[in-house]
Structure 1
Amino acid sequence: MLSNLFIFSTIASSLLFAFFVWLIAHYTLTRQSNPDRERVSTIIALTLLCWFSAVLLLAKAGIFLANPLFAPGIVFGFLLLFELLRRAFFSQTIRKIASDAPMVFLITVQTYRIVGVGFLALYTQNLLPAAFAIPSGWGDIIIGATAPTVAAIYYLGKPYARRLATIWNYLGIADLIMAIGVGILAFSKPVQLLQTTPSTELLALFPMATVPLFAVPLAFFLHLLCLRILKVEAKFKS
């Protein structure tokens, strides 16, 4: 169904995305001269690795596809993740990392999203429906391709940099919400509300499940983090 090269690329790109997210956290901890930086850095790395591995192993075992509530479960998963992240911000260490993380890096790491070209490739093979693959694929490609430019403009301190970064982050969030929404509506019966052929059940299979259950939530969190930093900057400079 999926070529070995595509499977390898999907796993490798998601792992690389996670690695760079950890690298940003580790770099931020180092800049802060945090006495617990090694311990906190290790915890973050293990959390990302365990999260990714759990999704990968469950997908390999066919757990997600066998569960008819997989698609709506993604919504509850996002709500749970949001609550966990909200609680995590009560930790002084986590809040300090979040507030000091370099915005340029947080934006640049979203270059990963150019892997959205994979959705278009799967559409051409009739493995994903056009209603999902085309807007999601192109949306990700646009966000990923423009990330370095937005980051560079922010780094150079252009007068419009913060406004551009804010708009870009909201567009990135809208792209993710649209992808998850269509992905759920076009999923296999009994939850399929958007009649497409094929359905989006491929997203519940190994290794594609890592996209909605790992990469998307992580990208979503990074966008929210950027918006939080931009909001704080706006208050500080007003």
Structure 2
Amino acid sequence: MTATNGDGRWYIIVGLLWLLTAVYLGASGRVATWRPPIPQIVLGGLTALVLVAVVALPRFRRWVRALDLRWLVALHLTRFVGIYFLVLYYRDGALPYAFAVPGGWGDILVATLALALLAVSGPLETRRRLVGVWNTLGLMDILFVVATASRLALADPDSMNALLHLPLSLLVTFLVPLIIAGHVVVFWRILGAANPQN
């Protein structure tokens, strides 16, 4: 059986339910009660869950493989959230320099390059080298951001408290897992690892 538009609607509904759950957990203050390593476990677990779904569910895998690559790149426009990191550091001092400034500028750069990729004419599948360079940079940046946030939170949980309140709590419970999984999927797509028969 092949993936259908109906499948796509269901996957989008599941994604929206996930987002609503993440919003509820942030708004209710549940996420704010988490202390390391709970946020790290949640983020890692959600990332793994998305990737396992791609591997283990053939219809979902075919749907992901059939998606226009531009949608996977467009997801990373959300990384303009790096601007907010800089605001929280320079205006409010609510995030440590070691996280907010390198992470903020890194995310802004990746989002800007994603915007440039989206402006390129023609299918992105034909520009694998260009997409690969951007994807490598983007994955390195997000892993650096996650590693830095984890290191600082383990040393001083209160220093990263802003990440446990809306809107930034959505990074832990929704957006970053999608971003990391998205990078893996982009590599899978451009390296031709996907088998059309699977």
Structure-to-structure mapping, 1:220-235, within 5 angstroms? 220-232=180-192
Q: How far off is 1:79 after superposition?
A: 3.6
Structure 2 equivalent of residue 174 of structure 1: 140
Higher relative contact order (CA 8 A, sep 6+): 2
Structure-to-structure mapping, 1:55-74, within 5 angstroms? 55-69=22-36, 72-74=37-39
2:136 alignment partner, SS class: helix
Gaps of 5+ in 1: 1-31
Which whole-Å deviations, capped at 9, do the CAs of 1:103-129 have from their partners, x for residues lacking one?
233223322222311110111121111
Task: Go from structure 1 to structure 2 and tell me whether the alpha carbon gap of 1:234 and 1:50 turns closer, same or farther (over 3 Å shift).
Answer: closer
TM-score, normalised relative to structure 2: 0.83
Gaps of 5+ in 2: none
Structure 1 equivalent of residue 46 of structure 2: 81
Which whole-Å deviations, capped at 9, do the CAs of 1:183-213 have from their partners, x for residues lacking one?
12222xxx3269xxx7111101122200222
Structure 2 equivalent of residue 192 of structure 1: 155
Letter in 1 for 2:155: Q
Question: Take 2:123 and 2:50, find their aligned partners in 1: how far apart are those partners?
Answer: 31
Contact 2:77 2:111 in 1 (8 A): yes
- CA RMSD, Structure 1 to Structure 2 (Å): 2.8
TM-score, normalised relative to structure 1: 0.70
Q: How far off is 1:227 after superposition?
A: 0.6
Task: Go from structure 1 to structure 2 and tell me whether the alpha carbon gap of 1:115 and 1:87 turns closer, same or farther (over 3 Å shift).
Answer: closer
Question: Take 1:232 and 1:134, find their aligned partners in 2: how far apart are those partners?
Answer: 36
Letter in 2 for 1:74: P
Bigger CA radius of gyration: 1
Question: Take 1:235 and 1:154, find their aligned partners in 2: how far apart are those partners?
Answer: 26
Q: How far off is 1:64 after superposition?
A: 2.2
Question: Take 1:152 and 1:141, find their aligned partners in 2: how far apart are those partners?
Answer: 17
Alignment of 1:91 with 2:57, yes or no, is yes
Task: Go from structure 1 to structure 2 and tell me whether the alpha carbon gap of 1:104 and 1:128 turns closer, same or farther (over 3 Å shift).
Answer: same
Task: Go from structure 1 to structure 2 and tell me whether the alpha carbon gap of 1:104 and 1:209 turns closer, same or farther (over 3 Å shift).
Answer: same
Structure 2 equivalent of residue 54 of structure 1: 21
Contact 1:104 1:152 in 2 (8 A): no
Question: Take 1:33 and 1:132, find their aligned partners in 2: how far apart are those partners?
Answer: 40
Question: Take 1:223 and 1:105, find their aligned partners in 2: how far apart are those partners?
Answer: 12
